[in-house]
Structure 1
Amino acid sequence: MAGRDLRALFSSNDRGMATTEAFTNRQLQWELIAAALAEHLRHTADRGFDVEDLEAPRNNLIVFHGVGGIGKTTLSRKLENALAGAEHRPAQWGEPTWSGERILPVRIDLARSANTDFEQLVLTIRAALAELGRPLPAFDLALRRYWEQQHPGESLEEYLRRGGLVGRFGKAMPQQMQAALADVAQALLLPGSVGTAVGAVAGSLTRALRDRRQTVRALSGCARLADLLEAEPDLEALSFYPHLLAWELAQLPADKRVTPVVLLDTFEDVGDRTHRDLERLIQRVVWLMPNAFFIVTGRSRLQWAEPALQGQLDYTGPAAWPGLAATAVVPAARTAATGAARSGGRQVLVGDFSPEDCDDYLARRLARDGQPLINAEIRQIITDRSHGLPLYLDLAVMRFLEIRRTGREPVPADFDHDFGALIARTLSDLTPEERHVLRSVALLDAFDLALATRAAGMLHEAPAMRLIERPFVRESAFGLWPYHLHGLIRSTVRNADDQADDRWSPRDWHQAAERALAALGEQWTTGTGRDRMLLVSCLRQGLVLARDFRLELGWLTEAAWSYVSDSVWEPLAPPTRPESASMETAADALVELLSTLARRQHEHREHTADRLAAVTGTGLLPADLHEMAVYYLAKVQRDLGRSGASRRDMQLVADGGGRLAPAARRGLAHLARLAGDFPTAYDTARTLGWEGRHHRVEGDIWWPHGDMNRSATAYEAARLEAEQHGVAGERATSQAQRAFVLAFTNPERADDEIELARHLITGLNLRQTGHTIEIATLVRDAGTQTDLEDRARILREEIHTSGITHAAAALELAMCFHHAVLDNDHAFTTAIARLRDLPQGGDHAYYVDIAHFMAGLSLNGASGARWLDGGQPTRNRWRTLVTARREYLRNAR
């Protein structure tokens, strides 16, 4: 459905441009309404339904709430048209189940700009019912009495004309009211002109009703009419008159029956959480007209089902409004087909447009010769920036036309833009304290009440509690912090040109960032136990704040050490620094350091080395964090086969005596082992202790000697020690190595060890450990699997992508074992050649020796490795592993 978009039409001289007010499909909302209205019609048609029952629960409304600009008013207007008749209903919405029932839609805009007061609301409903073509005497008499008392000398017809109701509904209502008055006067046999005798008619009718006279038996069925006619005709009494209207509708004959559907739009302008006077009157209308159906659209969900409002409103609590209770709230993504509406949920969050809907909206909004005026590239940029908010799309269209008025054609870069108008729409109905909290939490990806309050610098949580009820605050039940701002609202509040009266200065934003960073630090430091999720979540938000606002590191230093200590490497995912941007602060360097350490599990080690070298070259980090960068650079250099550079940096860290000195000494032991200097590596391992992972280093030394059982025992001790200290990454790595060495000796036992390793690595970003597990499966299957070469080829490509040379060496050694078991000389020769060709820089040279030991071949030029117990015992152990596997396979057949 589309109409003329007058704003766009009057924004351009291009008469060939077609401007349509595009309406993007809201089929899910229509299905919810169709189901709820069908249920309402079934309820009112039931024989047990009593329109005068004032105690029964009410389920005669549905609420659509959402952020400003989400399209609630457009939805309300389209619903009014769709309910008016099939010719106005989009074809994709489908035929409703109440076909044949007479529906009368009445839309009332409660926006402040519409200047709708309670009197006008009641008159609008009555004016719409003039379509029935008959008086509604009980209501009409009461309303006429109210009017003459509250508006003496003012013509009701003139008032309706000024308010636009005559234009909408015609002149029939005053005439019907006059006829009702005349009919009652005649029934009571009153003399004179009824036009000036409303009071007398009301008094006589009241006495007649009390006396149960037969002359007024048509009205005597309305049990509360006499009470209402006796009450002072003020605004309070007027709010109860809709009961008379509901009663009159219930008296209509079956062929004249009609169900009013009252659409109350912009409900947020009714009042606030303190001043509920108008809301109380409107709620009475809904309660007293149980045979009417109400569709409420506004920014916030209705609170009528909350018992705490007792005394502020007449009808409160979940028993009164079961469909409005918090447990009955349904998201817009739920459809009527799921039973959401039928189960009672009547609070619906109006969701954002899908990317497809956004593109469709922009394509149809402006066109020339049937083709979209906004090209696909610009539409994509606008869609991405909009986060699905229709108001943003509308503002982007007007910006498109504004740029064209300057004489140039818009380009995609013109729409990498935030609109200040979104701030005005968002802040318009917030209190000053709520606005302050909103700006504060715009600095955070996610938050809870305590974090929001602390970031705002407030001593009480009430403003944050009110804010989280707003539709632009989304809730996730699975996050550490349950709340987050709508993406576009957050971006706009932080980045747009804010012209609000209480806008923040750069210093205000900086102070808020300091408060938010401190609040995150407090949550982490006061957390109980080793809460990894809390640590990573605080780091993710804290790093961005420190970087963007150039803050001191503070607690981030200690948190960084905690992050690396577990060797888990969850992605921290702050927005990445552009390649061309220089690091200028310690926060810049720390973000780059930790992001690089996490990313190294997913990129080539060469790239990691370049980034770490850049960090160490800045000199921006404090001494202990600089040491961290140097140590991990040394590890990457070792992975790349740059043993000299790695040894230099490891020695630097070891000599510094800092936190990573034991790890650096372990690194030196590894370098000695890779070079074949096993005595030095072994002597160093015995001095390392837990901090230097002594058991794992010993296991790394024993397996090249072919002593797999001794190596497996060391790795098991390393895994158990890691469990005691709660270091998940070390535990997984030690178990992967244990699975690898046991795969040489016992394939059946290796199955369980490999399975345990895979379990322990779940959720961890440890690429090298993952390679080790896959190599273990190749060793386990050596001599049996026909697809071993294919699996090895795939793994070889993955290892090449990572740049980890010792993983490549271990893979080729595993393939040498496979071919030695099969006694396949040609394949063994190819495998050993591949092993020799690895760019190891002198490391792993003894792997070629081991390959010869496996096959029982003599060595023409040994590597010069210094074996702990000599070369011959090592040769014998490796050859025994091959012959034992052959024997195992023969027995297995």
Structure 2
Amino acid sequence: MAGRDLRALFSSNDRSLAASEAFTNRQGQWQAVTDALGEHLRRLTDPAFDVEDLEAPRRNVLVFHGVGGIGKSTLSRKLEAALATGGEQRPAQWPAPAWPTDHRILPVRIDLARSAGMDFERVVLTLRLALAELGRPLPAFDLALRRYWEHTHPGESLEEYLRRDGLAARFGKALPQQMQSALGDVAQALLLPGTVATAVSQVTGALVRSLRERRQTAAALAGCGRLADLLEAEPDLDALSFYPHLLAWELAQLPADKAVVPVVLLDTFEDIGDRTHRDFERLLQRVVWLMPNALFLLTGRSRLQWAEEALAGQLDWTGPAAWPALAIRDLPAARTPSPSAGGRQFLIGDFSPEDCEDYLARRLARNGQPVIDARLRQVITSRSHGLPLYLDLAAMRFLEIRRSGRTPQPADFDADFPALIARTLADLTPDERHVLRSVALLDAFDLNLATRTAGLTHQAPALRLTERPFVRHNPFGLWPFHLHDLIRSTLRTADDQTDDRWSPTDWQQAATRAFEALGEQWSAGETHDRLLLVGCLRQGLRLARDHRLDLGWLTEAAWAYIGDSVWEPLAPPARDHDTGTGLQTAADALVEILSTLARRQRENRSRTAERLTRLIDSGLLPPDLHDMAVYYLAKAQRDLGLTEDSRRGMQHVVAGGGRLAPNARRGLAHLSRLAGDFPTAIDAAAHLGWEGRHHRVTGDVRWVQGDIAGGAQAFQAARREGEEHGKKGEAAMSQAMRAFTLAFADPDVADDEIELAEQLLGPVDLRAATLDVRIAELLRDAGADTGFADRYQVLRAEIDTSGLAFAQAKLELALAFHHAVRDDQEGAAASISRLRALTRQDYYAYYADIAHFMAGLPLPAESASAARWLDGEQATRERWRALVTARREYLRTP
């Protein structure tokens, strides 16, 4: 099934090199064709089917479309070969066809490419020539065609035209004889004198009179109700476009042993015109509509628009009522459903990595073995993004490098092919090409963003561009359109030689326009539209970084991003051909700080501290963003147990009086709490207000006193305040701590609180809060035989990788509670020992005190912390011991 690739064959002197036109996969498209053909055959055998019904909706079209170089023409040729042999000569990957075997399938492939010189007249002739193999005239159509020919081509015989045009060589020379036979048969049936038997005008005139007068002599053709009208019409190109109705009627009259079902493959459909000039398309649409007993397989770059009402007047049949199966937006080719499900338009997808590997392995071979080695095939595959044209160009580059005497290396393919740009731009208008280059700067876009980036005042070019197959559509995205990845990267990096290629200044100006347009969209959006904020930040950060733009609106957007503690990933992809020179501009620094803050939820806090220290030392950030880095470094230091370093950072931010000053005051209150100075912490909480998250600070102080009700109430107030201000992160953190706190007291209540915390944490990325909920699940089950020890070990390993020292201490406290409930004195002592090792006098030392309280153990004076309990040590001890006693009673209750 693989044809010879003459380009590759004539690119090398190596005669042992086998250069084949490799064909890979496309099982989904083959399945769509076989399903559509099976449904088409069933419809033809339905007693209600009437080939002359010109009002019934049409379901005889299947469309495959995709970017240039995706393999549409190759698919069309393979389909033709497979259909011509009943599926026997099909690629090995394609399963056997399932259509009924009692139907004879006649594939007719017509290449509509401009280079093939195809016009509408040749399309009609090709259809009739393909049917010539039936070995019999089709008198209704043949008479009309003969009349058209003599009128339009006076003095030129059809036989000579077919010979000169090459059609006779392809289909044989039977058509002129069959047409002459049809003419003679009709003349004889009408009892016309032999001298006029070859005069088509007299024959058709007599036939029309016989049909109008319902004479018995025209009985053979009388069933074709519109034959007389067509023979009376002016035999011009417009009339020719209605003659396929006669062809369809003739096919319907064939006896069962002669019947055929044409499958017409119209390739390169985009070359018949454009979206403004639809003359050729209108003529072809008539052929499709007037031949409902033929199945048409269209391949081209663009989806078919016939089901759109707006084309009424430009085409004869439009709208979803006429073409119901074409009204559904592109279906994914990778998961091609049965066309009977409704859709008949399929976007041909890229090759999978496995298909790319298979293609390259078979593209160039010697003695059946791949010439391109496995390492090179992997590199080419990764850069191709699955585009077959790229694979083909890479194979030619491979041969070119070999001709130079070198062995191709992976680095030789770390480049783009300008030819991809030429192929992509080939059928675009100048304005569409301008918009295409502009949106190559964007990860995704809508019409307004594309128009603003291009610097145009009207959206029409952008609208037309979105209909192209290399523009992918995601109706659920913030911006619904994005370019094919390979085409986008090639447009931005390849040194193409097209007439309208852009200079560096052009790219810089477009980047500035795109950056400003994103800022305008964010500024005009809803205050709490997190999706819009993150989308604008991701694209804006990349533009500012890659094109060295001033921060502009990014500064305010960055503050909005950190304000909710959601921490979606923000880091844009590495620069194209990144030199690895590190931080150079304020935009580089802003990208680094925001991506660091997001990554800290998934990496060790020590790594976060290193990144933030490097940022602070770079001096690239403006003062307010510099304070942002200092504040979050201080938070990371606190999490790592570096309390003095953390205190200095928090004090610096408070002294600056900037936006994070309230947060830093909260940080200082937390440091007091960590040191066991609870009165100072609770007094500070009273002055923090909402901005300082006063309720959450209060809850953090209350629960360690054993005041479960007071702590839970404070965390509930913090959650509600977060919800009122639209701060999802604050609400989730507060609910996580409420669940943790209540898990000491009431397992049943804790169940509901844990479930709510998990729901609130779903849309945010907060590692510490997530760990709080995991520890709460352990606390809820403390004292019970539920695999507690194993679950503790798993969670401990996870916390170890995070670098969150406070979470390790909190987990150990949960284990101490478990041992106390089970009255396991040995286990309690071991937990107390580990707590001593995890804490210091200024860092959670009172956790060991609490473990003593829970286990009912005396607190040695030499190892007691310096904690200043709000109600004194004895009252605190009694509350913690009461929680242990209550859990024992709970577990004893049936």
TM-score (norm 2): 0.95
Q: Superposition pairs for residues 733-812 of structure 1, below 5 Å?
A: 733-785=733-785, 787-812=787-812
Quote how far apart the aligned CAs of 1:498 are: 2.4
Query: Within 1, Cα distance between the matches of 2:341 and 2:736?
Result: 51
Query: Within 1, Cα distance between the matches of 2:852 and 2:686?
Result: 30
Most deviating of 857-866 and 880-889 = 880-889
Quote how far apart the aligned CAs of 1:517 are: 1.7
Q: Which residue of 1 aligns with 2:225?
A: 223
In structure 2, do the counterparts of structure 1 residues 242 and 642 end up closer, same or farther at CA, with 3 Å as the change threshold? same
1:440·1:455 contact (CA, 8 Å) conserved in 2? yes
- Alpha-carbon displacement from aligned partner over 1:482-503 (angstroms, at most 9, x marks no partner): 2222222222222222222122
Quote how far apart the aligned CAs of 1:888 are: 4.2
Quote how far apart the aligned CAs of 1:624 are: 1.1
- The one-letter code of the counterpart of 2:524 is T
Q: Which residue of 2 aligns with 1:835?
A: 835
Where does the alignment leave 5 or more consecutive residues of structure 2 unmatched? none
1:642·1:841 contact (CA, 8 Å) conserved in 2? no
2:834 counterpart SS class: helix
Query: Within 2, Cα distance between the matches of 1:397 and 1:189?
Result: 67
- Alpha-carbon displacement from aligned partner over 1:46-87 (angstroms, at most 9, x marks no partner): 333332332222222211111111111111111111111133
In structure 2, do the counterparts of structure 1 residues 242 and 745 end up closer, same or farther at CA, with 3 Å as the change threshold? closer
Q: Which residue of 1 aligns with 2:496?
A: 498
Query: Within 1, Cα distance between the matches of 2:478 and 2:547?
Result: 24
Quote how far apart the aligned CAs of 1:682 are: 2.7
Q: Which residue of 2 aligns with 1:534?
A: 532
- The one-letter code of the counterpart of 1:845 is A
Quote how far apart the aligned CAs of 1:576 are: 4.8
Quote how far apart the aligned CAs of 1:266 are: 0.4
- The one-letter code of the counterpart of 2:777 is T
Q: Which residue of 1 aligns with 2:435?
A: 437
2:816·2:832 contact (CA, 8 Å) conserved in 1? yes
- The one-letter code of the counterpart of 1:559 is A
Q: Which residue of 2 aligns with 1:39?
A: 39
- The one-letter code of the counterpart of 1:74 is T
1:852·1:859 contact (CA, 8 Å) conserved in 2? no
Query: Within 2, Cα distance between the matches of 1:617 and 1:346?
Result: 60
- Alpha-carbon displacement from aligned partner over 1:180-226 (angstroms, at most 9, x marks no partner): 23333444455576697333333343344444444443233333333
Q: Superposition pairs for residues 703-722 of structure 1, below 5 Å?
A: 703-722=703-722
Query: Within 2, Cα distance between the matches of 1:842 and 1:576?
Result: 42
Quote how far apart the aligned CAs of 1:112 are: 0.7
In structure 2, do the counterparts of structure 1 residues 157 and 647 end up closer, same or farther at CA, with 3 Å as the change threshold? same
Q: Which residue of the other structure, out of 351, 354, 368, is the alignment partner of 2:352? A: 354
Q: Which residue of the other structure, out of 258, 268, 277, is the alignment partner of 1:266? A: 268
1:254 counterpart SS class: coil
Q: Which residue of 1 aligns with 2:167?
A: 165
2:76·2:299 contact (CA, 8 Å) conserved in 1? yes
In structure 2, do the counterparts of structure 1 residues 131 and 888 end up closer, same or farther at CA, with 3 Å as the change threshold? closer
Q: Which residue of the other structure, out of 369, 372, 377, is the alignment partner of 1:371? A: 369
Query: Within 2, Cα distance between the matches of 1:596 and 1:843?
Result: 25
Aligned-residue Cα RMSD (Å) equals: 2.2
Q: Which residue of the other structure, out of 458, 461, 464, is the alignment partner of 1:463? A: 461
1:123 aligns with 2:121: no
1:89 aligns with 2:90: yes
1:805·1:840 contact (CA, 8 Å) conserved in 2? no
Quote how far apart the aligned CAs of 1:595 are: 0.5
1:437·1:464 contact (CA, 8 Å) conserved in 2? yes
In structure 2, do the counterparts of structure 1 residues 800 and 840 end up closer, same or farther at CA, with 3 Å as the change threshold? farther
1:722·1:728 contact (CA, 8 Å) conserved in 2? yes
Query: Within 2, Cα distance between the matches of 1:232 and 1:745?
Result: 95
1:148 aligns with 2:150: yes
Quote how far apart the aligned CAs of 1:579 are: 10
2:449·2:517 contact (CA, 8 Å) conserved in 1? yes
Query: Within 2, Cα distance between the matches of 1:821 and 1:259?
Result: 82
1:853 aligns with 2:853: yes
Q: Superposition pairs for residues 865-876 of structure 1, below 5 Å?
A: 865-876=867-878
- Alpha-carbon displacement from aligned partner over 1:114-142 (angstroms, at most 9, x marks no partner): 01011111111111111011222222222
Quote how far apart the aligned CAs of 1:636 are: 0.3
Quote how far apart the aligned CAs of 1:565 are: 0.7
Quote how far apart the aligned CAs of 1:786 are: 5.2
Q: Which residue of 1 aligns with 2:728?
A: 728
Q: Which residue of 1 aligns with 2:653?
A: 653
Q: Which residue of 1 aligns with 2:417?
A: 419
- Alpha-carbon displacement from aligned partner over 1:644-703 (angstroms, at most 9, x marks no partner): 211111100000001100110111111122122333323322221111111211222233
In structure 2, do the counterparts of structure 1 residues 579 and 309 end up closer, same or farther at CA, with 3 Å as the change threshold? closer
Q: Which residue of 1 aligns with 2:294?
A: 292
Q: Which residue of the other structure, out of 233, 236, 240, is the alignment partner of 1:234? A: 236
In structure 2, do the counterparts of structure 1 residues 185 and 883 end up closer, same or farther at CA, with 3 Å as the change threshold? closer
Quote how far apart the aligned CAs of 1:839 are: 6.5
In structure 2, do the counterparts of structure 1 residues 850 and 13 end up closer, same or farther at CA, with 3 Å as the change threshold? same
- The one-letter code of the counterpart of 2:168 is V
Q: Which residue of 1 aligns with 2:505?
A: 507
- The one-letter code of the counterpart of 1:858 is L
2:658 counterpart SS class: coil
- The one-letter code of the counterpart of 1:824 is D
Q: Which residue of 1 aligns with 2:450?
A: 452
2:18·2:365 contact (CA, 8 Å) conserved in 1? yes
Most deviating of 531-540 and 652-661 = 531-540
Query: Within 1, Cα distance between the matches of 2:760 and 2:54?
Result: 62
Quote how far apart the aligned CAs of 1:334 are: 4.2
In structure 2, do the counterparts of structure 1 residues 373 and 866 end up closer, same or farther at CA, with 3 Å as the change threshold? same
1:643·1:841 contact (CA, 8 Å) conserved in 2? no
Most deviating of 193-202 and 598-607 = 193-202
1:442·1:493 contact (CA, 8 Å) conserved in 2? yes
- Alpha-carbon displacement from aligned partner over 1:255-306 (angstroms, at most 9, x marks no partner): 1111221111000001111111111111111122222221111111111122
Quote how far apart the aligned CAs of 1:98 are: 2.3
Q: Superposition pairs for residues 35-114 of structure 1, below 5 Å?
A: 35-86=35-86, 87-91=88-92, 92-114=94-116
TM-score (norm 1): 0.95
In structure 2, do the counterparts of structure 1 residues 318 and 853 end up closer, same or farther at CA, with 3 Å as the change threshold? closer
Q: Superposition pairs for residues 483-494 of structure 1, below 5 Å?
A: 483-494=481-492
Where does the alignment leave 5 or more consecutive residues of structure 1 unmatched? none
Query: Within 2, Cα distance between the matches of 1:219 and 1:783?
Result: 95
- Alpha-carbon displacement from aligned partner over 1:755-791 (angstroms, at most 9, x marks no partner): 2222221221111111112222233332223522222
2:297 counterpart SS class: strand
Quote how far apart the aligned CAs of 1:228 are: 2.4
- Alpha-carbon displacement from aligned partner over 1:494-539 (angstroms, at most 9, x marks no partner): 2222222122222222222222222222222111241111111111
Most deviating of 825-834 and 636-645 = 825-834
- Alpha-carbon displacement from aligned partner over 1:298-346 (angstroms, at most 9, x marks no partner): 111111122221211122222222222236x5432444xx5x3124422
In structure 2, do the counterparts of structure 1 residues 311 and 858 end up closer, same or farther at CA, with 3 Å as the change threshold? closer
Query: Within 2, Cα distance between the matches of 1:692 and 1:707?
Result: 22
Query: Within 2, Cα distance between the matches of 1:846 and 1:531?
Result: 42
Q: Superposition pairs for residues 268-667 of structure 1, below 5 Å?
A: 268-326=270-328, 330-335=331-336, 338=337, 340-576=338-574, 580-667=580-667
2:744·2:883 contact (CA, 8 Å) conserved in 1? yes
Query: Within 1, Cα distance between the matches of 2:47 and 2:873?
Result: 99
Query: Within 2, Cα distance between the matches of 1:113 and 1:218?
Result: 42
Q: Which residue of 1 aligns with 2:676?
A: 676
2:696·2:718 contact (CA, 8 Å) conserved in 1? yes
Query: Within 1, Cα distance between the matches of 2:526 and 2:735?
Result: 28
Query: Within 1, Cα distance between the matches of 2:513 and 2:52?
Result: 57
1:849·1:859 contact (CA, 8 Å) conserved in 2? no
1:641·1:841 contact (CA, 8 Å) conserved in 2? no
Query: Within 2, Cα distance between the matches of 1:120 and 1:259?
Result: 20
Query: Within 2, Cα distance between the matches of 1:215 and 1:160?
Result: 33
Q: Which residue of 2 aligns with 1:697?
A: 697
